Amino acid sequence: MDRELELYIHIPFCVKKCNYCDFLSFSSDQKTQEDYVNALLREICYYGPLMKDRVVSTIYIGGGTPSWLAYERMEEILSAIYQNFQIAPDAEVSMECNPGTVTKESLQSYFSAGINRLSIGLQSADNEELRLLGRIHTFEQFVKTYEMARNTGFNNLNVDLISGLPYQNTEKFMDTLHKVIHFQPEHISAYTLIIEKGTPFYDQYKFDAVRQEAGMKTEVLPTEDEAYRIYKMTQLTLKEAGYMQYEISNYAKAGHACRHNIGYWKRTDYLGLGLGASSLIDNVRYTNTTDLFTYINETQNIQMKELEYEDRDKNQKKVLGTGIHADGQLLDRKSQMEEFMFLGLRMNEGISREEFQEAFHTPIEVVYRNVIEELKQEELLEMHAGRIYLTEKGMDLSNYAMAKFLF
């Protein structure tokens, strides 16, 4: 029986780097993009035959800004995927795009090539906030992009939003949320801003972020209480608008939860292709090199090699990988259990006791009885109909609750 596999394709190119972004992305010239796509095509052709016993259920093309790549090259990438992998007839094929980087022609090309889900990076409906974030578009450009996507035939659209921005309050974010709800996308991802090291925002706001985390009065970032209010208002507003929260930051209309993301939280095997892409194959985690020259060079003649890593007990171990990989690690049983719990508990439906038993051949209570009882007493966890999931209070304290499952 063919096994399920998800594909992730990384396109690292952007018009310019946003002020908050710590993703692997950068601006580039056309020659660099051409060289990169050719390398990516070689990687696709290499892995396809190795995965011939797998059926690809979802494809996710992320970045960077995939829509910044010439659409003809995107057609080549998708064509190579369909030629080299076994793709399920009902596969979810998602691509990220940014307002102002698509045209009617490019959207029609994506649609014809098999993309059936678009994720549009709006982040805010306030043009001042967009400028602060370093975004290259306006809200008006988002509206145009959204309407073009609908007119092209896309009936599964996600809109990305970020709350907790500098100088933002509940009223400002609710204004953005109501404007987006007006367009009735099938899916809304509402993330809370995290000030990441190595970004312009870190240089500007790192001390304010420490104050926020400590529950102190902040200067420009919302206080911890304000950020919490925004999160709870987001939940309530989207619920009233017909969106089901199925994960900490993700909301969808019935039948439109992102299958690719759910697969990730359920630890479905996935293969990451492209610069810096991560994979989970048969409980081995791989990460591709983040060096562009190395990636292009290593795909010229892909060779198998041993990758060294250090296990929990500081023992040196080896796992088989390729020259494209920066590292690889076989997850031990404890690590697999931990991931099963803290990834699965991100979802509102939580985890299945039966699936834990099937995966690890032992009842979940044998491993986590004390943790489960402790979290139940703290009213952070519930058990019902064979499932274990965080309560509303548990979701609010999810980092604390999920950390309890780490050995």
Segment 382-393, tens digit of pLDDT: 999 999 999 999
- pTM listed for this prediction: 0.96
Segment 121-144, tens digit of pLDDT: 999 999 999 999 999 999 999 999
A 10 A CB-CB count for 85 gives 21
State the Cα–Cα distance between residues 100 and 67, nearest whole angstrom. Answer: 9
Residue 271 and residue 282 in contact, taking contact as beta carbons nearer than 8 Å? no
Whole-number percent of the chain with pLDDT over 90: 97
**pLDDT at 313 (0 to 100):** 86
Residue length of the chain? 407
Output 332-335 pairs: Cβ under 8 A, ≥24 positions apart: 333/360, 334/407
In sequence order, what are the beta bridge partners of 285?
280, 329
Q: How would you class 58 by CB atoms within 10 Å of its CB: exposed for 0-12, middle for 13-18, buried for 19 or more?
A: buried
List the alpha helices (DSSP H) in 15-94: 30-50, 71-84
State the Cα–Cα distance between residues 277 and 39, nearest whole angstrom. Answer: 14
Element (H, E) at 217: none
Position 185, amino acid: P
Segment 306-336, tens digit of pLDDT: 999 999 888 999 999 999 999 999 999 999 9
Segment 9-63, tens digit of pLDDT: 999 999 999 999 999 999 999 999 999 999 999 999 999 999 999 999 999 999 9
Residue 238 and residue 256 in contact, taking contact as beta carbons nearer than 8 Å? no
DSSP per-residue codes, 218-233: PSSSPPHHHHHHHHHH
Q: How confident is the model at residue 301 (pLDDT cuts 50, 70, 90)?
A: very high
**pLDDT at 92 (0 to 100):** 98
**Residue in this structure with the two tokens 């890593």, named with its chain if needed:** 309
**Which of these, 95, 110, 99, 101, lies nearest to 27 by C-alpha position?**
101
DSSP per-residue codes, 334-380: HHHHHHHHHHHTTBTT-EEHHHHHHHHSS-HHHHHHHHHHHHHHTTS
**pLDDT at 2 (0 to 100):** 79
State the Cα–Cα distance between residues 199 and 406, nearest whole angstrom. Answer: 29
Segment 56-86, tens digit of pLDDT: 999 999 999 999 999 999 999 999 999 999 9
Residue 304 and residue 320 in contact, taking contact as beta carbons nearer than 8 Å? yes
Is pLDDT of 169 > 70?
A: yes
Chain centroid, CA 152 distance in Å: 25
**Mean per-residue pLDDT for 174-189?**
98
Residue 25 and residue 277 in contact, taking contact as beta carbons nearer than 8 Å? no
Q: How confident is the model at residue 97 (pLDDT cuts 50, 70, 90)?
A: very high
Contacts of 2 (CB under 8 A, 6+ apart): 53, 54, 55, 86
Contacts of 113 (CB under 8 A, 6+ apart): 74, 75, 78, 79
Map out the domains of the chain with their CATH numbers.
3-265 (3.20.20.70), 348-403 (1.10.10.10)
**pLDDT at 1 (0 to 100):** 66
Give, as one character, the DSSP assignment of residue 85. S
**Residue in this structure with the two tokens 């010239």, named with its chain if needed:** 29
Backbone angles phi, psi at 202, to 5 degrees: -65, -45
Segment 344-366, tens digit of pLDDT: 999 999 999 999 999 999 999 99
**Residue in this structure with the two tokens 């965080």, named with its chain if needed:** 390
Residue 99 and residue 67 in contact, taking contact as beta carbons nearer than 8 Å? no
Q: Mean pLDDT, the chain, as a whole number? A: 96
